[in-house]
Structure formats: C-alpha cells, structure tokens
Amino acid sequence: MWLYVSGGFLSIVAHRDKPEHLLVRARHPDHIGALLPGLEPTVLKTADYRFRVVADRTVVVKAITHYLTSMDYDNFKASIIDKDYHDVCLDVWKTMWAYGCREEGY
C-alpha cells in the first residue's frame, strides 16, 4: 500500500517471514518518523526504498488511526510543509487528475 501523509510517503507491505508484522518503507529518512515516531529505520543503500522498519501490525494500525482521527486540515497539499515533498505530491495529483479525466471521458 502506498500511503501519502502530510509528513511523507510510505510503502507498507506484509512482511514475508513475520505474518504479524508489516514492512514500512520510505525513500526519505524522515518519512517513517512522520507516521511512526521513535522507530529507527534501517538503511539499505541498494534498495528501492532505502529506509525501512519492521513493525507489529497493531502498531501501524494505531499510527494510521491516530493520523486520521487527529487530522485537522481540509486540503492535503496545503498541509505539507516540506516544499520538495509538496511538489512531488502535486505531481502525483496532476497525474491522477489526468488519469481520472481519461477514464471519465473529459
């Protein structure tokens, strides 16, 4: 699952060997901490997602639930402080807008 939150972009997948755990991955060192503060990511220099943590599924569920229940913004892009990350999210928005227009026949 790809997850875009105000503080970063994460890829969250099932752990291959630990069914009770998830692998939370990021391309920026600060993005994991935006959702899971206090967990120190390991760094794999040759991996697609260089920064990663193995976390219990319940910890990840609680973190996502907390993010959702404490959300106070009415515009996701405006909630992003990091300009570079904002620009990346804007590119994603534009790509998905074009995709939606194509699918809806606009």
Domain boundaries, the chain: 2-74
The confidence score (pLDDT) of residue 64 equals: 98
Confidence band for 106, pLDDT divided at 50, 70 and 90: low
* Chain segment 49-105, per-residue pLDDT in tens: 999 999 999 999 999 999 999 999 999 999 999 999 999 999 999 999 999 887 666
Q: What is the mean pLDDT of residues 20-41?
A: 96
The confidence score (pLDDT) of residue 30 equals: 96
- Are the C-beta atoms of 25 and 9 separated by less than 8 Å? no
Contacts of 40 (CB under 8 A, 6+ apart): 53
The confidence score (pLDDT) of residue 104 equals: 63
